[in-house]
Amino acid sequence: FGRPWIFIRGVPSMKFLPPEGPLEIAFAGRSNVGKSSLINGLVGQKGLARTSNTPGRTQELNYFVPDGFSGDPGDLPPMALVDMPGYGYAQAPKEHVDAWTKLVFDYLRGRSTLKRVYVLIDSRHGIKKNDDDVLNLLDKAAVSYQIILTKTDKIKEPAVPRLISETLEKIKKRPAAFPEVLATSSEKGVGMEELRDAIRVAIST
């Protein structure tokens, strides 16, 4: 996806956000949904999003940017990828959930350079209650979001189109949902080019 991407900062609360600059594409999902693997697959760098899984970083917004910008016509415009903290730990104490909601909602509501949020859903589980809560938050904040199904290699191939249409049916009344669902497998490299294209379109429109 262009050039080497680098981790620039972890943001534990709003006052540590970088000043608004390049457009931002953010990624959200339940813990273990495959978010790190997807971000690594997207940029083609195995170790990149590991950073965000290291203890202490898990409750932060993690910022990644391309290392330099060539200005070549084929190059991406400057942008940042924002890895949002995972949600839905079974044992999460209420304060933890509240802190997550506050950081994420403040960020979503106040960030004019945020272009789109990708919400990752595990193909085997579909949209769960806490995913729905996050979609409600996004609709309320009026932030454009698109659903990505992850780990499609874990379900039978003919089930994929059905899962896509079931997911579309579930989100069709949601005002901020992008009416297309991407099916991916980081393991098999499926859907990565489609995701890159979708991001290119999102940041150039």
Interacting residues toward ligand GDP by CB under 6 A: 29, 31-37, 53, 86, 150-151, 153-154, 185-187
Q: Report how far residue 165's alpha carbon sits from residue 3's, in angstroms, rounded to the nearest whole number.
A: 35
| Shortest separation between residue 87's beta carbon and ligand GDP, angstroms | 10
| Shortest separation between residue 73's beta carbon and ligand GDP, angstroms | 33
| Shortest separation between residue 24's beta carbon and ligand GDP, angstroms | 19
| Shortest separation between residue 145's beta carbon and ligand GDP, angstroms | 17
Alpha-carbon distances, residue 198 vs 35, 101, 128, 152 (angstroms): 17, 27, 24, 19
Q: Give all strands (DSSP E) within 88-181, no chain letters.
A: 114-122, 145-150
Q: Of the two residues 42 and 198, which places its CB atom closer to ligand GDP in the complex?
A: 42
| Shortest separation between residue 150's beta carbon and ligand GDP, angstroms | 6
Q: Of the two residues 125 and 154, which places its CB atom closer to ligand GDP in the complex?
A: 154
Q: Classify residue 31 as exposed, middle or buried by CB count within 10 Å of its CB (0-12, 13-18, 19+).
A: middle
Tokens of 134: 């996050």
Q: Of the two residues 22 and 31, which places its CB atom closer to ligand GDP in the complex?
A: 31
| Shortest separation between residue 27's beta carbon and ligand GDP, angstroms | 9
**Cα 128 → chain centroid:** 16
Q: Of the two residues 35 and 111, which places its CB atom closer to ligand GDP in the complex?
A: 35
In the chain, the amino acid numbered 48 is: L
Q: Of the two residues 158 and 179, which places its CB atom closer to ligand GDP in the complex?
A: 158
The span from the first CA to the last CA of the chain, in angstroms, equals 18
Handedness of CA 178, 34, 138, 16 (dihedral sign): negative
Q: Report how far residue 179's alpha carbon sits from residue 168's, in angstroms, rounded to the nearest whole number.
A: 7
Q: Of the two residues 22 and 40, which places its CB atom closer to ligand GDP in the complex?
A: 40
